[in-house]
């Protein structure tokens, strides 16, 4: 059995430091990946994020099977830090009234239900905006909230496939490959967070909120990047290139005598430095077949075989030392375990452990965003299902015990639910 890695406790933030989003109330109706990734960033920087879940099992990611600790999944823990969790049964009118009261107080609402769900319950933007005109209402979906495909559900790998993004990944002689991590979901969450922050700035100037919409298919199309733009200019359909974009023989994976490395010598200056100073093959500069970039591309298989043969003659550490001395862009090809334990990562203090009510402690991967004056809040682990229901009802909505008891009896928090 693999042992869990040992992680340090997180160093607390300095006392008295402000947060970027202090006082911002976010009502979070999201689940799975894109929406929770968005709201977690808001929570990391001080927003009060209230995550609303179905009492019957909650967010789907609670049951993902990558790994679990203390009864909570790795997926859920990774996406729902610093949130307060409550349960509401939307099929119960009393629960919907609680949801409307939270929205009426909110600065931001984020939802990523299938098309029509929020409207069905009277929680869509058109229904709630009149009572809260300063509200920023962000909808995340696969294909948008308007048009022929608005009601069609969709997921990260489907939009990777349908946008053309997946066709760019993999090797030329193989089938298209989806990315391992759900990159379109994560990028959509980042875009949604950016859009919300833009809308908040606009609210300060214009005095009113607005509806914000982010779609996975739009994100996937934008992530084709300059390959998509090249197609629009040339009409030529870009293909897969594995680890060597545009067939460059000096970009990609090479094997030293005892392990792999990834090299990225993408211009003439770096190429000359590589073959002369590192490989000690000045003939690869003077040979007309390799003297210029176009020639190297035309003869890439021959050149790649020569370079591979040289790399195979010495150890990984020797090559890495020579290449770093020559300032050649190169890196170790690591596993997740190796990467997380690498000095480049450890030096950044990105990994720690934080308290958890059922596990004792859980791993924590810090947000990549760092701000000098308004750093992240001290992280609190993702909530247990319904963990903060009573607290939110009392502190945010001002409910007394009698009203909470009445809601519990009415089944607002589920058939067997309680305001925790």
Residues annotated as catalytic are: 185
Sign of CA dihedral 295, 300, 304, 305: negative
Contacts of 318 by beta carbon, 8 Å cutoff, 6+ apart = 256
Q: Could you give the CA distance from residue 378 to residue 44 in angstroms, rounded to a whole number?
A: 8
Contacts of 297 by beta carbon, 8 Å cutoff, 6+ apart = 246, 247, 248, 249
Q: Could you give the CA distance from residue 289 to residue 186 in angstroms, rounded to a whole number?
A: 43
Contacts of 66 by beta carbon, 8 Å cutoff, 6+ apart = 73, 74, 75
Q: Which two tokens stand for residue 287?
A: 């040979």
Which ranges of 106-155 does DSSP label H, i.e. alpha helix?
117-120, 125-128
Residue with structure tokens 């003077």?
286
Q: Which residues of 284-313 are buried (b: 16+ CB within 10 A; e: fewer)?
A: beebeebeeeeebeebbeebbebbeebbee
Closest CA to 132 of 106, 98, 99: 106
Residues in the chain: 420
Q: Which two tokens stand for residue 355?
A: 């308290």
Closest CA to 45 of 171, 196, 212: 196
Q: Could you give the CA distance from residue 48 to residue 82 in angstroms, rounded to a whole number?
A: 8
């Amino acid at each position: 059995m693999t042992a869990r890695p040992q992680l340090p406790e997180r160093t607390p933030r300095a006392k008295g430091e402000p947060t970027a989003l202090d006082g911002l109330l976010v009502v979070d109706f999201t689940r799975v990946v894109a929406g929770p990734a968005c709201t977690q960033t808001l929570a990391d920087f001080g927003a009060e994020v209230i995550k609303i879940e179905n009492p019957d099992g909650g967010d789907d990611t609670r049951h993902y099977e990558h790994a679990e600790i203390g009864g909570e999944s790795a997926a859920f823990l990774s996406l729902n830090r610093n949130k307060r969790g409550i349960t509401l049964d939307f099929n119960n009118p009393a629960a919907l009234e609680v949801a409307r009261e939270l929205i009426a107080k909110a600065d931001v609402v984020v939802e990523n239900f299938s098309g029509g769900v929020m409207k069905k319950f009277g929680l869509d933007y058109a229904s709630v905006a009149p009572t809260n005109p300063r509200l920023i209402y962000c909808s995340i979906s696969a294909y948008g909230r308007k048009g022929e495909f608005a009601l069609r559900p969709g997921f990260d790998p489907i939009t990777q496939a349908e946008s053309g993004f997946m066709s760019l990944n993999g090797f030329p002689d193989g089938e298209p490959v989806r990315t391992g991590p759900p990159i379109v979901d994560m990028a959509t969450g980042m875009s949604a967070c950016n859009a919300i922050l833009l809308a908040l700035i606009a609210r300060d100037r214009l005095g009113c909120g607005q509806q914000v919409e982010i779609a996975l298919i739009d994100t996937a199309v934008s992530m084709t990047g300059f390959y998509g733009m090249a197609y629009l200019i040339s009409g030529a359909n870009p293909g897969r290139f594995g680890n060597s974009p545009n067939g460059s023989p000096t970009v990609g994976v090479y094997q030293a005598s005892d392990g792999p490395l990834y090299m990225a010598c993408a211009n003439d200056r770096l190429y000359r430095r590589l073959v002369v100073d590192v490989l000690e093959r000045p003939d690869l500069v003077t040979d007309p077949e390799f003297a210029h970039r176009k020639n190297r591309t035309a003869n890439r298989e021959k050149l790649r075989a020569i370079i591979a043969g040289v790399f195979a003659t010495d150890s990984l550490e020797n090559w890495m030392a020579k290449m770093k001395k020559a300032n050649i862009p190169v890196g170790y090809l690591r596993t997740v375990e190796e990467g997380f334990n690498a000095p480049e990562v450890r030096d950044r203090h990105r990994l720690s452990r934080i308290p958890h009510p059922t596990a004792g402690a859980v791993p924590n991967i810090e947000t990549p965003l760092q701000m000098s004056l308004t750093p992240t809040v001290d992280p609190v682990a993702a909530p247990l299902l319904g963990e903060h229901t009573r607290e939110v009802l009392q502190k945010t909505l001002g409910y007394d015990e009698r009203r909470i008891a009445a809601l519990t009896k009415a089944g607002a928090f589920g058939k067997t639910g309680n305001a925790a």
